[in-house]
Structure 1
Amino acid sequence: MSKDNTAIGLDAILKELGPFGTYNIVNYALLLFPCFLAGMYGSVFVFEAADIDYRCQISECESLNESIWLHHAIPKEKTGLSKCFRHSFNENFTISNETCGVYDLNDTFTSAHEKCASYVYYGNSAVRDFDLGCQNWKRTLIGTIHNSGLFLSLPLTGYVSDRFGRKVALSIAALMNSIFGFIRSFSTNYYMMVVLEFMEAGFGAGAYTTAFVLAMELVGPKGRVFGNTLINVVFVFGLMTLSGLSWLLKDWRTLLRVIYAPSCLIFSYLWILNESVRWLISKGRHEEALVILRKAAKMNKVELSEPGLAPLCELEKDKPREDKEDKEEGENKAEEKPSIFFQVIRSSIIRRRLVTCSFLWITCTFVYYGLSINSVSLAGNMYVNFMLVAFIEIPANFCCLFVLDRFGRKRVMIITYVLSALLCISLSFLPKGSGWLSLVIYLSGKFSITVAYSSVYIYVSEVFPTNVRQSLLAICSSTGRVGSTLAPLTPLLALYYDNLPSIFFGSMAVMAGLLVFTLPETLNQPLPDSIEEAERLNREKVQKQTA
């Protein structure tokens, strides 16, 4: 009995178990909790290092009422008083209430500008605690360092997940989140903070992708889109909760302690969460897979058919003979196991698919985060603004639920990429202050790229073999972080040409839409468990076209 037949039989067993049984609901609820937390962890640096208000400290006048002398001491700019410069003090005047507070204010300060030596801060963030006034590169570097940590975390967690199991990788990653995130709240200087920022993301950010893969392997083909939608909606609730907690607490250190402490609870999943049956089968641990399937059937109050379980039972009977052969060829087996990944990469079909999916992911993160970063004009209050940007993702994810299973993955991705490109480019033709029209187009662009992002996430989980599914998904996701790392730089493009960011977003989305034409459709296809099954997706496409 081949493993391929066993995999196909597993999808039939999952269908018998049903998509909404008690077993599925309990396990999905457990997996939604780390997804909710990940929504907060991925964007906490926005509030942790928020660009609060501050001004130059005018030591000559600080003891007096600032409303009297402030406009004379600090030069005006387009957006208000300067945050980084002050007027030079006229040394010919003596510091007194008469000179700085009441009389001759125009003569107290000269017209010359000089950089601030120190600052007065209004608000609470790392900018105040670590004196980052007028050092925006240091402030934005916090988010960049966080995203760079994902280049380490996602492949590392993917390797642990594919080698030692999904729940092991999830539990360890969540524990790393809790430890490094909580310690970061006690940072005594900027460098301690950014090091812990990298370590928290570098060792813990893979918890979300692990939970996602485990959830996708928990359900059959018909349940994947609904499961993906549910995860994404919970992730958005995490984003909105982050904004609400930040607004309520108004203290970045307290915020970190509140959101990171619960992550340590996920470490208990080592004992209470069931391992992925599909992963157990791919590792030849059929007895454990049978135990979990029977447990699921009991919880769902269904009776699994013997023909459905027959492939697994047959493989389990053959296991003693296989174990004997494994002992005789132990050294050869040990050499073969680490080479599975390289066997996959040697496939030209999988290799091209990996490169294409990586570019799709880069485009999604670049446009998605770029639109978020450039959305400050949506509302005056930064917390309300963040909530609005997050909230638009909820209808976008429900849209995925209705269109992906009806029209297929490819068609939806092509339409949403091209639509987001047209919307982004159209923004460049609108004059500033276009009011509701620009707002509607902006939100529509965010809606479209969110649908594309959600579609790519579920599509990538369907086109790679089980043995290396999370590793290849992690490569696509970590490569995609190039987009989220470059997105904070897009406002700098506007210094050269106002509409350049929108043109960049649109151009990349167009290229991504064209590349989708080269990929196979995965609608209602069983998850491939071997290289041959993954390659067969392309062959089936060719056969349909020639039929």
Structure 2
Amino acid sequence: MEEIYEELNIYTSTEHIINEEDYIVKSIGAFGVWQTGVCLSAISARMLAMLNIFSMLFLIPSIDFKCIDPVLTENNSCHDDCELYSFDNEVFEQTVISEFGLICDDEWKGSFIQTILMFGLLCGVSLFGWISDRYGRRTALLICTYTNIALMLAAPFSPNYWSFVTLRFLIGIPSGGTLIVGIVYIMEIVGPKHREVVGTLALLPDGLTQASLSLFAYYTRNWRIYSLAYTALSVIPFVLVLFIPESPRWLISKGERDKAYAVMLEAAERNKLDTLNIRENIDKALSEMNYKNTSKKPCYLDLFGTKELAFKTFALAAIWTSAGACFLGINQYITFLGSNVFIAVALLGCIQIPICPIAIILNKMFGRRIIIVASLLTTGLTMIALLFTPQGHAACIIFSVIGFASATIIFCIIYIYTSELFPTSLRNMGYGMTSAGAKIGAMAAPFIASINPHWIPSSIFAVISFSSSFVCIFLPETKGVNLDT
């Protein structure tokens, strides 16, 4: 995937485009009807990953319990001599927590379900990054999509806790694949001037996915039925990914001139562009790629080759980790605050929809660093405000929504900022290494969110946010600055 990224010069800023011709975009257009259809299909596959990530909010929600053998009246208390616990089914008829008894000494197992899913995502990014390089973007996306759907259908029939955990890990692998392959595919077919907007808007359906899960959970109330219900949405990517062609850029990188020509011809015709020079442009693109492939190949150690690069790598990894922990942590934390969980989760989903275009506007107006610092500080301040807010109070939701919105803005911009801070030869590896921090943060998030009393998680999220904002201050601004080559 490295040579593809170098060919793409994959940063997404409109202020500074590297002065070299993109013969592929020249043939098929920067963005048109063809790219719109392909992007929608790739984004639909991403929806599967987000369903699996956000579904945990209703699979392992906070639920009251008490000992009934012997009968004790105190709720949510563990006793060494208790033989049997009863779970409150006023909100949920059956959850993973209540069915498998994940309380007291086994409480950690609930958070571990989300952690193992995120670990699967981390593995999937590497595995399917390699598969997409070796066998093509379309092939990787098809494998991810259909494997994901099959595993999602199997998970509700898990007979015990460990079989469910195993399936969640396996689900995470193709989910991670769809996230990386989908965004790479989109960046490969969209012109440089449109990558910033398209790359950000590709995150917009995430909010719709999360909000829809509230409806499924509200009308089912049983984790097995709920899992089958939201899996029904997979019919959308099941159909759409069949119509995704292979990436013309990948075909050219593999020397598949004729196949690349067929795809690019269709794209140009759909976009109503001249098709006369497509073969000539393919040959020019091949010539450029062959020239770049003769240059010295960088390695991951080069990310620490100078003090400046080492600081950028550590700082960006810290910001990614903070973003991942706060984004998923606040999502899960809000389910423990005693508010209406269905409204709270739906609200957090809906808030993501306007955040994407807002992030684009703020990015263009103020630049990367100042928006990320401001967003991290806002997240930290809202978490501090939660320390002084009674649990169950309406203000808890308000502060959580503001903090979550700020974390969402960070995600919208950090993709761009990361790719701009590294030189071209290290851009792909720098992005891969630092963005892994988001998965690590997400792995820790459920354990942090479930800590009692409730002021401890908000304190941890505040410290993480403030620390990352301090580090970010010392990173350079990239808006309007020429990129390193």
Q: Could you say which TM-score interval applies, normalised by the shorter chain?
A: 0.7 to 0.9
What is aligned with 2:468?
Answer: 512
Alpha-carbon shift at residue 269 of structure 1 (Å): 7.0
1:178 match: 149
Instruction: Output the CA distance in 2 between the equivalents of 1:266 and 1:445.
Output: 31
Contact 1:35 1:208 in 2 (8 A): yes
Find the residue that maps to 1:479 and give its secondary structure.
Answer: helix
> For 1:453, which of 411, 420, 426 is the aligned residue?
411
Q: 1:195 maps to which residue?
A: 166
Deviation at 1:287, TM superposition (A): 5.1
Instruction: Check conservation: 2:119, 2:439, Cα contact below 8 A.
Output: yes
The farther-off stretch of 362-371 and 347-356 is 347-356
Q: From 46, 56, 70, give the equivalent of 1:35.
A: 46
| Per-residue deviation, residues 97-154 of structure 1 (Å, max 9, x unmatched) | xxxxxxxxxxxxxxxx942435366311223433445432222222222222223222
1:457 maps to a residue whose letter is Y
| Shift in CA distance, 488/133, structure 1 to aligned 2, threshold 3 Å | closer
- How many angstroms does 1:200 deviate by? 1.3
Q: Are 1:432 and 2:403 matched, yes or no?
A: no
Count of residues in Structure 1 that have an aligned counterpart in Structure 2: 467
| Equivalence map 1:343-382=2 (5 Å) | 348=306, 353-376=312-335, 380-382=339-341
Change (3 A) 1:289 1:392: same
Instruction: Give the aligned partner of residue 282 of structure 2.
Output: 312
2:344 aligns with 385
| Aligned amino acid, residue 490 of structure 1 | I
Work out the CA distance in 2 between the residues paired with 1:458 and 1:318: 25
TM-score by length of 1: 0.72
**Residues 207-259 of structure 1, C-alpha deviations (whole Å, 9 max, x = no match):** 12221222223222332232233222201111111221122222322332343
* Distance 1:491-1:301 versus aligned 2 partners, 3 A rule: closer
Task: Give the equivalent residue in structure 2 for 1:416.
Answer: 375
Q: Is the 8 Å Cα contact of residues 248 and 260 (structure 2) preserved in structure 1?
A: yes
**1:89-488 correspondence runs (5 A):** 114-119=81-86, 122=89, 123-132=93-102, 134=104, 135-260=106-231, 263=234, 266=237, 272-285=243-256, 288-303=259-274, 306=277, 312-314=282-284, 348=306, 353-376=312-335, 380-428=339-387, 430-432=388-390, 439-460=397-418, 473-488=431-446
Q: What amino acid does structure 1 have at the position aligned with 2:268? A: A
Report the 3-state secondary structure (helix = DSSP H, G, I; strand = E; otherwise coil) of the residue aligned with 1:375: helix
Residue 447 (structure 1) shift: 1.6
Whichever of the two has the greater Rg, that structure is: 1
User: Is 209-218 or 273-282 further displaced after alignment?
Assistant: 273-282
2:41–2:241 CA contact under 8 A, matched in 1: no
Distance 1:197 1:173 in 2: 14
Give the whole-Å Cα distance in 2 for the aligned partners of 1:219 and 1:269. 19
Alpha carbons of structure 1 residues 219 and 520: separation in structure 2 relative to 1, 3 Å? farther
**1:356-408 CA distances to partner (integer Å, 9 max, x unpaired)?**
33222101011222322332377732222211122222222221121223333
Structure 2 letter corresponding to 1:409: R
Task: Tell me the secondary structure at the aligned position of residue 374 of structure 1.
Answer: helix
AA aligned opposite 2:43:
L
CA distance in 1, matches of 2:152, 2:50: 14
CA RMSD of aligned residues (A): 4.0
Q: Tell me which moved more, 356-365 or 501-510.
A: 501-510
CA distance in 2, matches of 1:5, 1:144: 35
Distance 2:404 2:94 in 1: 29
Name whichever of 263-272 and 36-45 sits farther off: 263-272
More divergent stretch after superposition (167-176 vs 341-350):
341-350
Check the 8 A contact 2:368/2:413 in 1, yes or no. Answer: yes
Percent identity between the two aligned chains: 24
Question: Following the alignment from structure 1 to structure 2, what is the Cα–Cα distance between the partners of residues 219 and 444?
Answer: 32
Mean alpha-carbon deviation: is it higher for 13-22 or for 118-127?
Answer: 13-22
Aligned with 2:204: secondary structure?
helix
Q: What is the distance in 2 between the residues matched to 1:469 and 1:148? A: 24
- Cα gap change, 1:318/1:351 in structure 2, threshold over 3 Å: closer, same or farther? closer
User: Is residue 44–residue 242 contact of structure 1 (8 Å, CA) maintained in 2?
Assistant: yes
Structure 2, unaligned runs of 5 or more: 10-18
Residues in 2 aligned to 1:50 and 1:358: alpha-carbon distance in whole angstroms: 29
C-alpha distance 14-166 of structure 1, shift in aligned 2 (>3 A): same
Q: Which position in structure 2 is the counterpart of 1:489? A: 447
Q: Which runs of 5+ in 1 are unaligned?
A: 60-72, 86-112, 326-332, 526-535, 540-547
2:73 maps to amino acid: P
SS at match of 2:245: coil
Q: Distance in 1 between matches of 2:336 and 2:99?
A: 27
For 1:24, which of 20, 28, 35 is the aligned residue? 35
How far did residue 188 of structure 1 move? 0.9
Q: For residue 74 of structure 1, what is the aligned residue in structure 2?
A: 72
Give the letter for the 1:393 counterpart. Answer: Q
Contact 1:154 1:206 in 2 (8 A): yes
In structure 1, what is the Cα distance between the partners aligned to 2:263 and 2:451?
A: 54
Change (3 A) 1:15 1:402: farther
User: Displacement of 1:31 after TM fit?
Assistant: 1.3
Tell me: CA distance 1:431–1:339, structure 2 relative to 1, closer, same or farther (3 Å): same
**CA–CA distance in 1 between the matches of 2:299 and 2:154?**
36
**Deviation per residue, 1:501-541 (Å, 9 max, x gap):** 4443333323333444555655589xxxxxxxxxx8237xx
